[in-house]
Amino acid sequence: MSGGLADVFTRTRGQDRAALIGYLPAGFPTHEQSVSLINAMVAAGVDIIEVGLPYSDPLMDGPDIQAAVDIALQAGTTPDTVLDVVGQVSAAGATPVVMSYWNPIERYGVDRFAARLADAGGVGVITPDLTPEEAGPWIAATSQSGLDRIFLVAPSSTDARIATVASATSGFLYAASTMGVTGARSQVSSSAPELVRRSRALTDLPIAVGLGVSTGEQAREVAGYADGVIVGSAFVRRILRAGDHEEACREVGALAADLAAGVRGR
C-alpha cells in the first residue's frame, strides 16, 4: 500500500500497532539488486522504506552500513541512482523516504533534489546531520515539493531542543535511542522510552525509534511506546552474510516478517 507518511501512520494506528521502517542503501550490492531487496522487505511487512544515499564519509554509521555504502559507491551509485531506486520501489507500492547526509543533497542542488525526489514518488527525507537552524533553504525546498522533512532528537536533547527540532519536522520525529553510531545491538537503549515520553509532551508528530533494533522481540518492546520502529543494520548484515542474491532476498524477507510480527504484538 503506497501513500504519504501521514497515510501510513493513520493506517498503522488504526490497526493498533507501530509502523515498521526499514533501511537499505541504494545500489547495495548493485542497483537492481537493491530494488529487489527493498521490494522483498516491503512484501514481508515493512511499511516505510528508508532508501540510503551512499556517502563517502558516513561518520554516524557503524561498520555494517559503512561496508554496504562502500560497496554501493564502488558499484557507481550516485544521487541519480538513488532517485531511480526510489522511483522503482514507489511504483511497486512502497512508501519511500531518503536517508542522506546533507553534503550530497547540497552538492546536487537543494531545490533540484527535492523536486526530483517528489517526481520519483519519494515522500520525505531524513537528514541526520542537518540542524533546523541551518535548514532554511531545505525547509523551503521540501515545502515547495510537498516532501516531509525528518530531523533527529537524541537522549542528550533538552526539552527546549526537542521542541525546536519538532517544530521544523514533518512526517515523523526520529528518536535516536542511543548516543553513538548505528548498529544492531543485543538490547535497545533504556533511554529510549524516556526520550519518547519527553518528546510526546512537546509534539503531536508520530515518533519513531531507531538505532539498535535487530529482532522481532526488540521491535515488540519498542512498539510498546513508539509509533514507529526503525531497523537498518540488521537488514544490511544479513545481506553481507548471504551467499548469493537469492539467499539475501530470503534473509531480508524473513527478518522483515519477524519484525512485522513484533510491531503487531505490542
Catalytic residue chosen out of the listed positions 47, 61, 148, 251: 61
Residue 61: active-site member: yes
Q: Give yes or no for a contact between 177 and 192, defined as CB atoms under 8 angstroms apart.
A: yes
Report the run of H or E that residue 97 belongs to, with start and end. Answer: strand 96-99
Handedness of CA 238, 88, 72, 228 (dihedral sign): negative
Q: Alpha helix locations (H) across 21-109? A: 31-43, 63-74, 79-91, 102-108
User: Among the options 47, 50, 148, 221, which is catalytic?
Assistant: 50
Catalytic, 50? Answer yes
Distance CA 58, CA 70 (A): 10
Determine the Cα–Cα distance for residues 175 and 10; give it in Å rounded to an integer: 19
Q: Is 183 left (phi over 0), alpha (psi -120 to 50) or beta?
A: left
| Cα distances (angstroms) measured from residue 104 to each of 2, 74, 157 | 27, 16, 26
User: Which residue numbers are catalytic?
Assistant: 50, 61
